[in-house]
Amino acid sequence: MSSPAPTAVFPGLRLGDLEVATPVVLAPMAGITNAAYRRLCAEQGAGLYVCEMITSRGLVEGDKHTLDMLVFDEAETTRSVQLYGSDPVHVGKAAEILCTEHGVDHIDLNFGCPVPKVTRKGGGGALPWKRGLLGEILEAAVGAASRHGVPVTMKTRKGIDDDHLTYLDAGRIAQEAGCAAIALHGRTVSQAYSGRADWEAIGELVAHVDIPVLGNGDIWEAADAVRMVEQTGAAGVVVGRGCLGRPWLFRDLAAAFAGEQVATLPTLGEVRDMMRRHAELLCRHMGEERGCKEFRKHVSWYLKGFAAGSDARRSLGLVSSLADLDALLADLDPDEQFPTAALGAPRGRQGSPRARVALPEGWLDDTDGRGLATTEDAVETTGG
């Protein structure tokens, strides 16, 4: 089954001096977008592949877990990192460290995380409510990174909830601070990952700012990405949960944005080969024992919709060596066709909307926050 080729050819993405041939960004996902997965996706198609999110405090303090996450594959020609922080001083220092000690080519700042333990401290998706503080953080990051020619972007959500929207102000502040682009997840913090993403808000932000806007939310197939760009005028897309268990989505995205025919859906045999390659890369970076453990979480995503039985899924979810993995994968039917019923369906976590977002006491009382330096956990690992 193939999708018709799009009629238009879309330009690449330019972030400062950094050029991305295909206007597609892999969203940082904790425990997912490590060096192995980034390489796996990059082997499929062009794009910008962002490292798992790290905290500015963890980097500045030399936290071992944070440094362990700053690993790049030898094939990565562009090093992209998402940085989280709520203190302008820490964020500025962290940006300097990334540029001078880790050779990064792009820094993205996370202001979209909806996790209560983060928003409760005024971080993540709660922070843009404090417009002044947001500006201080962005200016600190851009000031540090620009000395090294490294572009800074930011990711945010529509706002805390429908009564406390921040995305238009965030776009203006990002532009004034010198950010190279802003990515908007078309949901509020209170929605988390539930419901439908608001693509109209993405279009409104495009019309509101002069810097590139990247759209995020509900991109499950390559056709969704093309449709989002056509409907909103966005300069590109950010893809998160849609690629879970489907790294070949980046092959389809590269084809779609180039105006080419999107590839045929993979058989279970082709998926099996992709699973083996993923596990191999994980083991190369982490060692076989840890690599196989890390691979387990991906099994259900790869096999979603296929007829593989519960015994096979359970055994694959307990795999402890590449030899065991090879034996189990050999039992899968290589000729089974891709389950078309799984197309366009949400993947990964969804959850339910929250009646109330966890915020610091009095957080909504004013919208400035300049000089207010909240403190994040050094090892916070999440996304937005």
* 94 within 8 A of 59, measured Cβ to Cβ: yes
Q: In 10 A of CB 33, how many CB atoms?
A: 24
Q: Which of 39, 18, 35, 4 is nearest to 252 (CA)?
A: 4
* 91 within 8 A of 56, measured Cβ to Cβ: yes
- Catalytic residue from among 41, 51, 99, 113: 113
* 97 within 8 A of 136, measured Cβ to Cβ: no
Q: Is 113 a catalytic residue?
A: yes
* 155 within 8 A of 216, measured Cβ to Cβ: yes
Q: Is 336 left (phi over 0), alpha (psi -120 to 50) or beta?
A: beta
Q: In 10 A of CB 161, how many CB atoms?
A: 16
Please report which residue ranges of 109-198 form alpha helices under DSSP H. 116-119, 131-146, 167-177
Residue 6's identity, in one-letter code, is P
* 88 within 8 A of 372, measured Cβ to Cβ: no
Element (H, E) at 302: helix 299-302
Helices H / strands E in the chain, number of each: 15, 12
The two structure tokens encoding residue 312: 């096979």
Name the 3-class secondary structure at 216. Answer: strand
What is the Cα–Cα distance from 309 to 163, expressed in whole angstroms? 46
Residue 335's identity, in one-letter code, is D
Residue 227's identity, in one-letter code, is R
DSSP structure class, residue 106? E
**Which residues belong to the active site?**
113
